[in-house]
Structure 1
Amino acid sequence: MTELNLLMVGAGLSGAVIGRMMAEAGHKVTILDERDHVAGNCHTERDAETGVLVHIYGPHIFHTDDAEVWEYVNRFETFLPYNHRVKTTSQGQVFSLPINLHTINQYYGKTMRPDEARAHIAEIADTSIETPQTFEEQALRFVGPDLYEAFLKGYTMKQWGVSPTDLPASILKRLPVRFNYDDHYFFHQFKGMPQDGYTAMVERILDHPGIDLRLGQRFSREMAERFDHVFYSGPLDGYFDYALGRLGYRTLDFEKFTEIGDYQGCAVMNYGDPDVPYTRITEHKHFAPWEDHEGTVCYREYSRACGADDIPYYPIRLMGEMEMLGRYVEHANQEGGVTFVGRLGTYRYLDMDVTIREALDTGRAFLKHAADGTQMPAFSKPPL
């Protein structure tokens, strides 16, 4: 196969995984990132004051049922066992999440068995809502007004900045209640946290003689002319200079503070009451329970609308955004020579394992197209 000159825009998971595959296939790879570090929003670094490994852009917990993805990340980093648990402070008490039998019994002051709790929830649920259309209808249909008000409504309003009556039911995808005492947040087969952090993992992925990494450098479309193909993991609308408008995102503000000892006793404490301005507090040393630190680093997390100079986190994907997205997809499909990848490039919320899976699939698809002499499409995973 003829050596190709390829450009990866973004040194996050998508750019790193695709770039590594292209370099191992014998191609010349340049990776640009406007930030001064790799790993994108997964970036981790040691806090200078406490030594705690901090998830700079908020916590990322690795969980997957994809054995190949699990094998891939463990090729570049040692993942140690970690079971994620979340608590929430609501109405003056601390409860376990997701809503489980302990949460239900504690909230109602009962000692119900699973069948009794299931019958109780069925009795208070609004069964008149046969086909829920909104987030609120979905919640009322499956857990009733009490648990909805205590655990879902306020948090959702703060996270998304709109009423739950304006959000689609699909956001609340699964039945948000368990009728046993299992408070593990994730049920996936493979779960863990990287011993040295995600940044160390991505640095090892990028450690290949065929990769030229350039940090602190912004991409411009004129650069694409110097490469045989571009893999772009930046904002889809940003690639087109926001010509059709800006796609909507939520962004996050973090209020960092340090303490001595253990501040809250868990990695994540949600705050469901609407009068508390932040959505949660994360305590980062609990994400690496194998380490021992006298001090601790915490983040209060605030969600708000994403401005032009903010870091985009969560794509909103409501009706107006989806219409605009459709027009941008049309433009992308006509572009040629560029493939849009990742969370920003496809305007979809993606967990890390899905991001890596799609990057592996995209890389393999490109190598096949290159071998066949055919054109790689703009999206290997269409946004719509």
Structure 2
Amino acid sequence: MARYCVVGAGLSGAVVARALGEAGHSVVVVDERARIGGNCATARDPATGIMEHLYGPHIFHTSDESVWAYVQRFCAMAPYAHRVQAVARGRVYALPVNLLTINQFFGMTMSPSEAQAFIRSKTRPCEAPRNFEEQALAMIGRELYEAFFEGYTRKQWGMSPTRLPASILKRLPLRFTYDDSYFAHRYQGMPKDGYSAMVASILDAPNVDLRLAQGFEALGEPFAHVFYSGPLDRYFDYRLGRLNYRTLDFEKFHAEGDYQGTAVLNYCDADTPFTRITEHKHFAPWEKDAFDRTICYRETSRACGPDDIPYYPIRLAEEQKLLRDYIALARATPGVSFMGRLGTYRYLDMDVTIGEALTASQRLLTMIAEGATPPAFFVDPA
């Protein structure tokens, strides 16, 4: 029986490993961390019992019915509607920018049509915005941009918004209603027992040999094929240089009662060093009243060093050439396929990660049955 290796016990690795195992193939899943789940790992805080998102909050949201059905095979999804508040210039507002935000900020009581016309008068038309700032000025105008996005973006990305692509802001909606839901997807929720339990259930499949706290490089055994969800540049020992990421520092603290009354409070002003505070019992509203104490994280973004956890691929112009060179190197390397956020150097939401892994799994099993060689990439990362 052919033996396969999956590097990484996060979402991509778990989905592909289960597909291989259920199809009767022997598969080793290896992860250098001592826990499963990748950056969406969760665990109960020993001091309070609150479910923590160990590497920052992850909210499951999707409009893909097949992905929603898939995750519900492995966990009970509890209803959760994500909302974000923001501190700007000493006041608290709702994000994304909506009719309430606009009326509060400008001290007015406009109707939807009045607000649309008002914001249109504030914007700077631009048919093809070249960067984040041009997109913001065309979308919401200078005053809202400077209050909510300019300082926060500089802190999050460590550079001027004029160097960032317009696509980053396009992810956020602008609403002329009082709808302050952060996501507009049809399905939203949280796994009731946490993401680590969900991933453990996915990996609980026949023919799957899970090895934690062990590096792929130390396995020292041959495999028919390797499915690699670690950093693309790391696989090649950074021989072409390092792809750039942003990483996060978390300052965890406990408090009595309810610290901020919401799951996420952004701090938009540039002179506040951190980007946000997350209060984790609010990510599980079905149980938050059971806890007399609370746990919070102050979150600060900075450049990712060699020993840091990579979170956000930067993908600026200078990274594009290096990425293309690594893609060419990967395609010339037999016996390995690169998957997931790190393996393809893309920012991916969880539902997209799972959806791509499911599609890759279907294609993979067909190729194995036909004796074909899996490609270096199932999704073009360029």
Give the TM-score normalised by structure 1: 0.97
Q: Which residue of 2 aligns with 1:188?
A: 185
Which string of whole-angstrom CA distances, capped at 9 and with x for unpartnered residues, describes residues 66-119 of structure 1? 111111111110001000000000000000000000000000000000011111
Q: Runs of 4+ in structure 1 displaced over 6 angstroms?
A: none
Which of 266, 270, 275 is the matching residue for 1:274? 270
Q: Among 314, 323, 326, which residue is 1:325 paired with?
A: 323
**What code does the residue aligned with 2:245 have?**
Y
Q: 1:151 aligns with which of 141, 148, 152?
A: 148
1:113-167 Cα deviation digits (max 9, x unpaired): 001111110111112x332111101101111110000111011000000000111
- How many Å apart are 1:307 and its aligned residue? 0.2
CA drift of 1:222 comes to 7.6
Contact 1:87 1:269 in 2 (8 A): yes
Deviation at residue 170 of structure 1 after TM alignment: 1.8
Q: Report the residue type matching 2:314 in the other structure.
A: I
1:143·1:176 contact (CA, 8 Å) conserved in 2? Answer: no
Overall identity of the aligned pairs, in %: 61
- Matched pairs, number: 380
- Residue from 35, 38, 43 that aligns with 2:36: 38
> What's the counterpart of residue 350 of structure 1?
348
Using the alignment, how far apart are the partners of 2:127 and 2:199 within structure 1?
46
Q: Structure 1: how far apart are the matches of 2:335 and 2:157? A: 35
Partner of 1:249: 245
Query: Which residue of 1 is the match for residue 77 of structure 2?
Result: 79
- Output the CA distance in 2 between the equivalents of 1:75 and 1:341: 22
Partner SS, residue 141 of structure 2:
helix
Instruction: Tell me, in whole angstroms, the C-alpha distance in 2 between the residues paired with 1:176 and 1:203.
Output: 34
Match of 1:230, SS state, is strand
Q: 1:209 to 1:103 in 2, by over 3 A?
A: same
**Does the Cα contact within 8 Å between 2:48 and 2:294 map onto a contact in 1?**
yes
Deviates more, 1:362-371 or 1:33-42: 362-371
The equivalent of 1:112 in structure 2 is 110
CA contact (8 A) 2:22 2:206 kept: no
Secondary structure of the 2:73 match is helix
User: Which structure 2 residue ranges, 5 or more long, are not aligned?
Assistant: none
Look up the equivalent residue of 1:329 and give its one-letter code. I
One-letter amino acid of the counterpart of residue 216, structure 2? F
Q: Does 1:100 align with 2:80?
A: no
Task: Give the whole-Å Cα distance in 1 for the aligned partners of 2:203 and 2:139.
Answer: 46
Residue of structure 2 aligned with 1:220, choices 217, 220, 245: 217
Q: What RMSD in Å do the two structures reach over aligned CA positions?
A: 1.1
Aligned counterpart for 2:231 among listed residues 228, 231, 235: 235
In structure 2, relative to structure 1, the CA distance for the partners of 1:302 and 1:175 (3 Å cut) is closer
Contact 2:229/2:340 (CA < 8 Å) preserved in 1? yes
Q: Tell me what 1:16 maps to.
A: 14
What is the CA distance between 1:175 and its match in structure 2? Answer: 6.6
SS in 2 for 1:220: helix
Does structure 2 retain, via aligned residues, the 8 Å contact 1:125–1:141?
yes
Deviation at 1:174, TM superposition (A): 4.9
Q: How far apart, in 2, do the equivalents of 1:365 and 1:118 lie?
A: 46
AA aligned to 2:31 is: D
Q: Tell me the amino acid that sits aligned with residue 245 of structure 1.
A: G
The within-5 A match list for 1:302-341 is: 302-341=300-339
Instruction: Give 1:59's aligned residue.
Output: 57
What is the rounded CA distance, in whole Å, between the counterparts of 2:166 and 2:188 in structure 1? 28
Measured in 1, the distance between the counterparts of 2:193 and 2:318 equals: 41
